[in-house]
Structure 1
């Protein structure tokens, strides 16, 4: 039960918590004060883009901006680990061409430029609001101390640092004592932009709060390399598979194969005799027409000695 103020003459009801709301709200990223609409309505937030939401939004009368109360508290500027410059919030799309297809460079998924986003005008770097605000992407620094041109020559790829929690290694690690992050040596050599023989387009390192499916093996993981042209995604395990390898019980080398060896429509692994997804990568001996699962050839933990 919640107490309300009530006008019996007008049949007007107001929660005690709603009555305590400020008459206007100053948003850090907007030039005009925001006024609450004292009515529970269905609306689309002009900042986060959530459609047909219900609540009491805040309105900017000069601009017609209609946003959630929580969105009004988004910071104007912040810094993410994966980019050298601070990002600033934009909600007018004046800096971006709405007709262009833009991708968030944190999760590598499409951005609707009609609504709010974080942007670096120096590098044309675009990111979703939620991706930028995620504590796993944010860099906790004093933005007032960042000067123009600082960190321009930074070569360390910081985006990869959390991805190796999902990949067992052989004991050689880079460790961050502050963040409790462990980085496998092999993974540290990967760039956040990957060119792989198994796919014709560039792949970009993607992180989301939801698990993403790897196109080459079907596993689900938070960190993948994602294609902005098609729906292809590649996890770290598959991205680092050797192109050629040997199996102790077989006389010929196995080559990593990205497509089915024929058009029969029925595919199985020779060693385990399990049915095989024709879209998944596998190792293949052409001399013996011998397909094998990467896990059987390399072992479940190939980097663990």
Structure 2
């Protein structure tokens, strides 16, 4: 819990609660003075050029072969995502003038080694082409922090604080590693690392819903859609998605425009795999009747048919670079790659 002492906020934990999870603590040898020397100051960038104010205008990031330049303008029709956190790009940002690579300034300046409240010891920033099962349990591209054991943190999960004030709920939410039941945001069962909740009520959110972007753009509306939550007190029959026109659960997170009175499922607003970059290369996949090893994930427009389920491919797919093999991402078995 948190408490105020002499004007400062302190973090207080029961000894029993700390010792319950060995990833939360490390034993210090008092005689030899052992300690974790990992520092949050290790830099991901090397500064090449600064302006008269000392601001880094040109840098080299460890995850890109070319130098990056600081930008402060976004074209009105640009639909760019940060190659670190995979969220829509916003100013200020660094970009590559030679290829399609963008990083939020905050993502570019993240330390390569940092401490995180979810576990000890420190976690390390690495560039991976794609990954499954971050704390949010999403298939995503970008940069990842890797910890001990199987813990992986996409940049969105790594940025989640220990306590959260969610706009859809009146209480401050804390991580409860033993939280069971269903998430109020998506309706899925909670994973083995728990969920964020308030102990006096049943409201809870998993990492996937905690890390949803607060604002998104969609072609169904000219305004920005904002993440929302209903109290479910009105007639459930009136809750409909304005994109797919199907029913929308009154107790689940969704995106809305108060000006146009539009309401959209989060999946309809974001797509099935919003954090998987178009053009992501998948390698070393075998099985399911196909034995080539190079695939590329992309969105296609056309009438190709999934090689597994036989249905049309008009959304995210995995496509072989050597033949006509193409499957929905939902049909592809990724479990063999972990």
Taking structure 1 as the reference length, the TM-score comes to 0.49
Taking structure 2 as the reference length, the TM-score comes to 0.44
Structure with the greater alpha carbon radius of gyration:
1
